[in-house]
Amino acid sequence: MKKVFSVLLATAMTASVAACGSSNSASTTAAAADTTAAAKTETTAAAGETTAAAAENKKIDKLSIAYVPSREPQEIIQATEPLKELLTKEMAGLGYDIGSVDISVGTSFDAVGQALVAGTTDIGVIPGSTYVLYDDGADVILTATRKGLSNDSDSAKDWNDNKPTEATDKEVTSYRALMIAGPSETGRALAAKVNNGEELTWDDINGANWSIMSSTSPAGYVYPSLWLSKNYGHNITELAHAVQSDSYGSAFARLASGQIDVLCTYADARRDYEEKWQSEYAMTNSIWDDTDVIGVTPAIYNDTISVSKNSKIMDDDFKAALQEAFINIGNSEEGKPVIAIYSHDGYQKAQASDYDSERDAQKMLQEMEASK
């Protein structure tokens, strides 16, 4: 009987152990199944989010950019080739998938302005003067930046009190044109009045011998004429003694020799001709000792990135994305060599009113032309 009981007990215990083992195995299998299911769910969810994000990007088949021919067209095309990939990548991160970027160089400055008005190009990299002439069909969104100077005052005396003018690392969106008096007797007399805080009269201005540049030069003609108009009610064509120089170098040579008393030039020109003043023009004193500023023009704003008002792909959101994309490109190591083709260091957001001085200048030029 005991033997039978022992056999039955052993059998029961074996069954019990088997049952426990079966239960543990089932639990492990269930847990593994749960983990696998969770992983699949997470993977599916992540894939879904990626697909949704991609689906949210707006598709743009083609984006066209036109540059003005301020340099050799082929040189511009080669230098800006990397912009296609850089811009496509930036815009993708800002919600736009660009199919292709087409870059061209206009046959003239006017041709790019006309293309913006017609809507046959989406973006134009153009100077402020071209933008103003065609702003009925173009919106300015960015202004190019360049390295600034230690002086940027409206006051001629401030420029003289703070000589020499030095370069800075500050990025600026505009530059000045200056009227600079040289070492001649008349030049020194004009400088003395300015540095004594006296106002120059039209007789003072008109009695001097001037050097001006061609009629298309912003710093050597257009903005000095605007300065004369605003301060004396006369334009540059009314100066009694003005000679056109074929280069700023020849203008400074004339200033050094005393052939002229005043020249019109860009604000950092003396820095560019500082060495030549003594080496080539045989002057004893430095250019900073021999010259003074007698007039400062309004700010001349740098080149623009403008967009077509009549482009089918252009709206406020797209313009905002383009602003951010170009700013990012201008701040990147890959982008700086690309935009350097136009001597751009970077970009800042722009507004139409930044170019009001250019509008005044263009209006004045049209009036001058009409009066001929």
Q: What residues does each domain of the chain span?
A: 56-146+301-370, 177-297
Share of the chain above pLDDT 90, in %: 80
The predicted-structure confidence for 271-301, as pLDDT tens digits, reads as follows 999 999 999 999 999 999 999 999 999 999 9
**CA torsion sign, 67 to 72 to 74 to 78?**
negative
Dihedral pair phi/psi, residue 121, rounded to 5°: -130, 145
In this chain, the answer to whether the domains covering 56-146+301-370 and 177-297 adopt an identical fold is: yes
The reported pLDDT for the residue numbered 163 is 96
Q: Are 174 and 357 in contact (CB under 8 A)?
A: no
CA dist 89 and 84 (Å) reads 9
- List the single range of 30-34, 181-185, 250-254 with lowest mean pLDDT: 30-34
CA dist 237 and 230 (Å) reads 14
Share of the chain above pLDDT 70, in %: 85
CA dist 87 and 96 (Å) reads 10
The reported pLDDT for the residue numbered 55 is 60
* Strands annotated E in 150-186: 167-172, 174-175, 177-181
For 210, the token pair is 């001037």
- Grade residue 321 by pLDDT with cuts at 50, 70 and 90: very high
The predicted-structure confidence for 116-158, as pLDDT tens digits, reads as follows 999 999 999 999 999 999 999 999 999 999 999 999 999 999 9
**CA torsion sign, 45 to 49 to 50 to 55?**
positive
- Grade residue 15 by pLDDT with cuts at 50, 70 and 90: very low
**CATH superfamily membership of 177-297:** Periplasmic binding protein-like II (3.40.190.10)
**CATH superfamily membership of 56-146+301-370:** Periplasmic binding protein-like II (3.40.190.10)
Encode 259-291 in three state secondary structure.
Answer: CCCEEEEECCHHHHCHHHHHHCCCCCCCHHHHC
The predicted-structure confidence for 53-79, as pLDDT tens digits, reads as follows 446 999 999 999 999 998 899 999 999
Cβ count within 10 A of residue 308:
24
What average pLDDT score do residues 209-227 get?
A: 93
Tell me the CB-side half-sphere exposure of residue 193, using CA atoms within 13 A: 14
CA dist 268 and 159 (Å) reads 11
The reported pLDDT for the residue numbered 365 is 86
In DSSP notation, 53-97 reads HHHHSEEEEEEEEEE--SS-HHHHHHHHHHHHHHHHHHHHHTTEE
Q: Which of 201, 248, 252 is nearest to 221 (CA)?
A: 248
Whether the predicted pLDDT of 370 surpasses 90: no
What average pLDDT score do residues 14-20 get?
A: 38
230 in helix, strand or coil?
A: helix
The predicted-structure confidence for 152-167, as pLDDT tens digits, reads as follows 999 999 999 999 999 9
- Grade residue 31 by pLDDT with cuts at 50, 70 and 90: very low
